[in-house]
Amino acid sequence: MGKKNKSKRYVVGVDLGATKIFTVVITKKGKIKAKARVKTPAQEGVAAVVGKMVRSVRRAVEKAEISPSQVLAVGVTVPGPINPKKGIVFRAPNLKDWQNVPLGTMLEAELDYPIVLENDVNAGTYGEFALGAARGKRDVVGIFPGTGVGGGIVVGGKLHSGFRYSAAEVGHMIIHANGEICGCGNRGCVEAYASRTAIERDIRAAITQGRPSVITDLIDLENDRITSGVLKKAVKAEDEVVTEVLKKAQYYLGLHVATIVNFFDPEIIVFGGGMIEALGKSFLKPIRQTARAHFTNRLEAKRVKIVPAKLGDYSVALGVAMLARRAVK
């Protein structure tokens, strides 16, 4: 291909999720050269999943029409707690048998590239910092409301993983002492108010209480989940129950942003994830208002940007690819 002698310049990012594996090959400047999306064989055990990740990397490199020797490193994210230094995945609740998996070593043996492991939401935030909505900023916080509420922190242009690699658990900041029960077992976490799970809980409670809602027309309440797509339709239909429940979540997210800003004073807060994408930019407006009204430093409140993510589905894969580049440089 005439490129064999060119120096290594590409990196690969792999976002292992509970349902899909996203893979990207990116150039030095962060442009996507190739991408791939395959299903995660979540129920087939560790070897099956790792095998599929390896094939996904190889296929993406082929699709990019580059020589495998031009790849500098591979970044990988997993849906669970990890030790990035040791390349170990402690557990991944949605993947069968994933406990204390030495993923770094396993992938390195198969792929012969340096492997960089990171938490998924951390990588997503880093992606938005490096290539997306927070490009050019130095101090960034990402908030990703979904089944839970995940997050990421960039300080001075570097990902802040924390002393025990457990920073940015933004969903478990306590916003209402002794409040709603959270999935973590404690009470009053942000996640218990502003995750899609909490929103679904409140909508179901209102319907159970007999309040009319378009939700009952849109899905079979007994068998279906209230997905982000369903929420979107209900908002479009100006459903009273859904609007009210979302308003509560927005209020809590506003207080959450204020708490983060009063502590950390970042330049920008990026909201990402499927729910934010489905509900659109207008979802952030009341969050912004509540947040700014609760800033301690209110004079320059508008200098702190509160914006939607830009990279969509590939933010995590892109972010971890950029982290891999940075790590091996």
Can you tell me the distance from the alpha carbon of 328 to that of 114, in angstroms, rounded to the nearest whole number? Answer: 8
Residues that bind a copy of itself (CB under 8 A): 81, 138-139, 151, 153, 155-156, 158, 160-170, 172-179, 184, 186, 188, 251-252, 255, 258-260, 262-267, 293-294, 296-297, 300, 303-304
70 vs 259, beta carbon nearer a copy of itself: 259
- Give the shortest CB-5-to-a copy of itself separation in angstroms: 39
C-beta of 30 vs 251, nearer to a copy of itself: 251
Q: How far is the CB of 249 from a copy of itself (least distance, A)?
A: 12
Question: Alpha-carbon distance 194 to 199, whole Å?
Answer: 7
Using the minimum distance from each CB to a copy of itself, give the nearer residue, 251 or 274: 251
Which own/partner pairs from 56-61 qualify as long-range (CB within 8 Å, at least 24 positions apart)? 56/14, 56/21, 56/23, 57/12, 57/14, 57/23, 57/111, 58/111, 59/23, 60/12, 60/23, 60/24, 60/25, 60/34, 60/35, 60/36, 61/10, 61/12, 61/25, 61/34
Q: Which is nearer to a copy of itself, 51 or 81 (CB)?
A: 81
- The HSE-up count of residue 302 (CA atoms within 13 Å, CB side) is 1
* Closer to a copy of itself by Cβ: residue 36 or 198: 198
CB of 57 to a copy of itself, least distance (A): 30
Stated as kind and residue range, the H or E segment containing 65 is none
The DSSP output letter for 187 is B
Burial degree of 59 (CB within 10 A; 0-12, 13-18, 19+): middle
Taking the complex as a whole, the smallest distance from the CB of residue 101 to a copy of itself amounts, in Å, to: 17
SS3 state of residue 105: helix
Closer residue to a copy of itself (CB): 42 or 253: 253
CB of 174 to a copy of itself, least distance (A): 5
- Taking the C-alpha atoms of residue 245 and residue 43, their distance in angstroms, rounded to an integer, is 34
Tell me 195's DSSP state.
Answer: S
Nearer to a copy of itself (CB atom), residue 2 or residue 163? 163
Q: How far is the CB of 219 from a copy of itself (least distance, A)?
A: 30
CA 50 to chain centre: 21
Distance CA 110, CA 52 (A): 11
Closest separation in Å from C-beta 250 to a copy of itself: 13
